[in-house]
Structures are given as C-alpha cells and as structure tokens.
Amino acid sequence: MKKIGIITICDYTNYGNRLQNYAVQEVLRTFGYEVETVANSPISAHEQGLREIFERSKKMKPSELMPNLLRKVANCTKKSIYLNAIYARKMAFKEWTSKYIKETNFTVTPDTVFSHDNCPGSAQGV
C-alpha cells in the first residue's frame, strides 16, 4: 500500500481545521493510500510576543523595565481564566484527533524538521 502524508497546520482549537484534515484523510484512504498527517507547529503568537518583549527589554533602561514588567504580570494574571479555557479546548481537540486522525512521529516547526524515531538526520540520530 502506498503512503501519503498530509501537511497542514494542526490547529487543535479549530473545528474546521480538524474536520478538513479528517475529511482529506478519509478521501485518500478510499483511494487505497495509507495516510498520515505531519504535525506542523508554527510559532504561536504567544511565543512570538515573548520573543519581541525579550528583545525590547534588552534595550530598555532599568527604570523603564520595572513598570513594564509589572504591567505584563498584571495582564497575564487577567488572562489566566481565558488561557485555562483555551487549554481545555485544545486538550479536547487533541483527544478527538488521536482517536480519528493518524498523525506521524514527524514534527515540523519553524526551526527544525525532525523525526522522533532514530532516523538518520533526526535529533536523536545526529
């Protein structure tokens, strides 16, 4: 049986993304392919924001840094309820995905493409 991979953004908080991934997988299976989805994990807005904050903070004077840091801590505290709800939703999507969508051991990130197995060139096999 021939294998085929689906490369898509794996957004574990988006119904349309997950259902489209599932539909493509099932259509390809009807054509006789063994189908796997490659997990594509682009940098999150949160991670990008943290990188930008870190870069800006290196350029600030200590007297400017403390008020900004306190404001960021206060904002993070306010967001905790929202983030907990997002996390619960993401876990529900991951559970559904693990049940209905076959994903590979490969992960695609902005910095790396590697296999979790001991394949040549992988993080473990280097």
Domain ranges of the chain: 3-115
The amino acid at 81: I
Say yes or no to pLDDT of 122 above 80. Answer: no
Instruction: State pTM to two decimals.
Output: 0.56
Beta bridge partners of 35: 4
Where b means 16+ CB within 10 Å and e means fewer, 79-99 reads eeeeeeeeeeeeeebeeebee
What's the mean pLDDT in 85-95? Answer: 89
Res 121: pLDDT: 47
Q: What is the number of other CB atoms lying within 10 angstroms of the CB of residue 73? A: 10
CA gap 119, 2 in Å, rounded = 20
pLDDT > 80? residue 30: yes
Which is higher by pLDDT, 49 or 104?
104
Choose among 79, 97, 83: nearest CA to 37: 97
> What band does 41 get if pLDDT is binned at 50, 70 and 90?
low
Residues 8 and 18: their CA atoms lie apart, in Å, by 10
**DSSP at 16:** H
The whole-number pLDDT of residue 124 equals 45
The pLDDT mean for the chain works out to 78
pLDDT band at 48 (very low <50, low <70, confident <90, very high): low
118 has pLDDT over 60: no
- Counting residues of the chain whose pLDDT is more than 70, the rounded percentage is 75
